[in-house]
Structures are given as C-alpha cells and as structure tokens.
Structure 1
Amino acid sequence: MADKGDIGWRVLAGAAAFAGGFAAKKAITMAWKKSTGKEPPANPESPEVALSEALTWAVVMGVGVEVARLLATRAAAKHWSKGTGELPAQLRAES
C-alpha cells in the first residue's frame, strides 16, 4: 500500500504536470496565432486541413506540452526534496 509521502508526491507531481501542460497549450496556441495570423487547426486529423499544417501543429504541441510537463515535474521534485530532505522514491537513481 502507498504511504502518505508517496500519495502526496503523486498529487503534487500530477498537479504540476497538469498546470505545466495547460500553460503550455495556452502559450503555444497564442504563439501559433501570432506567428501564422490564424487559429490553430481545431481538428488536425481532418483531410480539409493541409497535411503540413496538421503535422507542424502536432509536433509543436506535442513537444511543447511534454517539455512543459517535464520541467514542471522536475521543479515539483526539487520543491519536494527541499521540504522532505529527499527525492520521491520514484525519482531516486538506483545504485
């Protein structure tokens, strides 16, 4: 059974990843609008959307959101280790 520290870390990491992903989606959408002058594709899977536009949107959004999640989770881990004195068990390097 998970202990309170494990549950606490999972909640903190999940919240950080969600917040990072949410912020990244907003920022990427705004940057897309500013750089292209139009809305991002609402449905990139649609054949009515140019393949180049759909692929560009998918790559930019995928990479951007995952990088934001990674950075947010790492920041949460740093905060966690400052508060508890050690990294969460899931993040410790195995010796």
Structure 2
Amino acid sequence: MADKGDIGWKVMAGLAAFAGGFVAKKAITLAWKKTTGKEPPTNPESPDVDLVEALGWAVVMGVGMEISRLLATRAVAHQWAKGTGELPAHLRSQS
C-alpha cells in the first residue's frame, strides 16, 4: 500500500503535469497561429486536412506537451526535495 508521501507526490506531480499541459497547449496553439497564419487542425485524422499540416501539428503538439510535462514534473521534484530532504524513491539515481 502506498504511504502518504507517495500519494502526496503523485497528486502534486499530476497537478503540475496537468497545469503544464494546459499552458503548453495554449502556447503551442498561439505559436502555430502566428507561424502559419491559420488555426491548427481541430481533427488532424480527417482526410480533409493536408497530410503535411496534420503531421506537423502532431509532431509539434506531441513534443511540446512532453517537454511541458517533463519540465513541470522536474520542477515539482525539486520543490519536493527541498521540502522533504529527498527525492521520491523512483526519481533517485540508482548509482
């Protein structure tokens, strides 16, 4: 059974990843509009959307969201370590 620290970490990391993803999606959408001059595809799977545009959107969104999640989780891990004196067990180096 998970202890309270483990549950606390999971809640904090989940909230940070959600918030980071929300902000990233807004920022990526805005950057797409400024760069391409048009709205991003709402349904990239549709055959009506140009394949290059759909692939571009998928790559930009996928990479951007993962970077956002990574940075948010690392920031929370840093704060967690400052507050508790150690990183969560699964983030500690194995060396």
For the criterion TM > 0.5, the same-fold answer is yes
- 2:36 corresponding residue in structure 1: 36
**Structure 1: runs of 5+ lacking an equivalent:** none
Shift of residue 35, structure 1, vs aligned partner? 1.0
- Residue 22 of structure 2 corresponds to residue 22 of structure 1: yes
- Residue 2 of structure 2 corresponds to residue 2 of structure 1: yes
Shift of residue 93, structure 1, vs aligned partner? 1.5
- Structure 1's consecutive aligned runs of 4 or more residues displaced over 4 angstroms after TM superposition are none
- 2:70 corresponding residue in structure 1: 70
SS at the partner of 2:16?
Answer: helix
What amino acid maps onto 1:28 in structure 2? I
* CA distance in 1: counterparts of 2:69 and 2:20, whole angstroms: 5
* CA distance in 1: counterparts of 2:89 and 2:6, whole angstroms: 8
* CA distance in 2: counterparts of 1:91 and 1:19, whole angstroms: 21
Under a length normalisation based on structure 2, what TM-score does the superposition of the two structures give? 0.97
Identity of aligned residues (%): 78
User: What is the Cα-based RMSD across aligned positions, in Å?
Assistant: 0.6
* CA distance in 1: counterparts of 2:59 and 2:19, whole angstroms: 20
Shift of residue 92, structure 1, vs aligned partner? 1.0
- 2:57 corresponding residue in structure 1: 57
Under a length normalisation based on structure 1, what TM-score does the superposition of the two structures give? 0.97
**Structure 2: runs of 5+ lacking an equivalent:** none
* CA distance in 2: counterparts of 1:10 and 1:76, whole angstroms: 10
